[in-house]
């Protein structure tokens, strides 16, 4: 898509890079240490030094995902306000809210970059929730800027995942403590092991986000007119509890490759194949496919218009709202249970080559 100059100069202010939200995800922690030792790598003229924040230091020291509960789902307003929760991660979430928030306030940190890793082969994924217009603009810009590196084989595939979920108040993720934000998820990372290529991919993607925020401040930013997003439309699992028992994801399943009605989705202990039933659309794109899971996330592929996103970006997202400026090729601005119009034209036999 063609580029459109931004009409807005926006200084986001304080920037935080949150690492080790799960203590056993090492690429983000590696980059956190690198940025602490070489702070110039995280420094830009418009906002100074982005601070590194350790999400779950106890879990990281113990080299385990969490101590009591998964920290990555602790940041909804209801949980932050619940003083009866006693788990370590519930308390840690409240500490982070005091440090980076308060959630939904004008004094909250301007932008959070959350660094995550996955064991499956995701490549580099910018995950944005729909309440953050700046987050989506950042992901779109980074996707375009990094595309030449992908084409030269210097980076794995780079994608944008967009999630709707009722607004910032109900968001369970640490990015929702900031006025704007996004997550960078990279994989595959074997649990407890560091991969040099994954660390490099994480660093390049993070640097691109910091560059975006810096260029945004001086008003010279060129945004793409539109970008391709994988729009999260929910989880797929068989409807029968009997069918769910003992399921593993079928060996043919791959992240971000199209899944059509009737395609193998799971295999039962008996060896019988459970097909995709079309309940979320005739064709969907699975992602975060874990081999031993009885369900997986699915997305539809759509073009989102980036033009106009920044018109409301200078205002903090409300706790209950999502960006109203999103326009999709399909014409369905939020949750949709059918495949995108573009997908109908995809020939099944060519789908793997295209996507």
Which pLDDT belongs to residue 313?
A: 57
Per-residue tokens: 65 = 């995902």
Dihedral angle at the C-alpha atoms of 146, 149, 151, 152, nearest 10 degrees? Answer: 170
Which pLDDT belongs to residue 339?
A: 32
Residues of the chain with pLDDT below 70 are 1-8, 240-245, 291-292, 307-355
48-97 pLDDT per residue, tens? 999 999 999 999 999 999 999 999 999 999 999 999 999 999 999 999 99
């Amino acid at each position: 898509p063609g580029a459109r100059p931004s009409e807005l100069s926006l200084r986001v202010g304080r920037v935080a890079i949150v690492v080790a939200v799960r203590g056993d995800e090492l690429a983000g922690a590696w980059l956190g240490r690198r940025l602490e030792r070489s702070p110039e790598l995280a420094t830009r003229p418009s906002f100074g030094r982005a601070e590194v924040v350790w999400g779950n230091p106890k879990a990281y020291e113990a080299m385990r995902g969490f101590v009591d509960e998964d920290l990555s789902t602790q940041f909804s307003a209801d949980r932050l306000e619940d003083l009866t929760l006693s788990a370590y991660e519930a308390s840690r979430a409240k500490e982070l809210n005091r440090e980076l928030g308060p959630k939904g306030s004008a004094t909250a940190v301007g932008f959070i970059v959350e660094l995550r890793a996955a064991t499956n082969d995701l490549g580099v994924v910018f995950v944005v929730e729909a309440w953050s217009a700046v987050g989506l603009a950042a992901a779109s810009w980074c996707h375009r800027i990094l595309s030449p590196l992908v084409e030269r084989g210097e980076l794995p595939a780079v994608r944008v995942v967009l999630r709707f979920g009722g607004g910032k108040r109900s968001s369970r993720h640490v990015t929702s403590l900031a006025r704007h934000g996004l997550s960078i998820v990279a994989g595959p990372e074997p649990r407890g092991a560091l991969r040099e290529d994954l660390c490099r991919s994480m660093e390049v993607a993070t640097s691109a986000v910091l560059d975006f925020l810096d260029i945004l401040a001086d008003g010279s930013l060129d945004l793409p007119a539109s970008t391709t997003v994988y729009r999260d439309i929910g989880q797929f699992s068989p409807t029968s509890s009997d069918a769910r028992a003992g399921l593993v994801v079928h060996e043919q399943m791959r992240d971000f490759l199209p899944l059509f009605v009737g395609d193998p989705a799971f295999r039962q202990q008996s060896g019988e194949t459970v097909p995709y039933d079309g309940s979320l659309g005739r064709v969907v794109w699975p992602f975060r496919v874990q081999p031993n899971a009885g369900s997986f996330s699915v997305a539809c592929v759509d073009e989102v218009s980036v033009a106009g996103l920044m018109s409301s970006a200078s205002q903090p997202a409300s706790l209950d709202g999502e960006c109203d400026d999103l326009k999709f090729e399909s014409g369905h601005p939020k949750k949709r249970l059918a495949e995108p119009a573009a997908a109908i034209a995809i020939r099944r036999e060519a789908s793997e080559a295209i996507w």
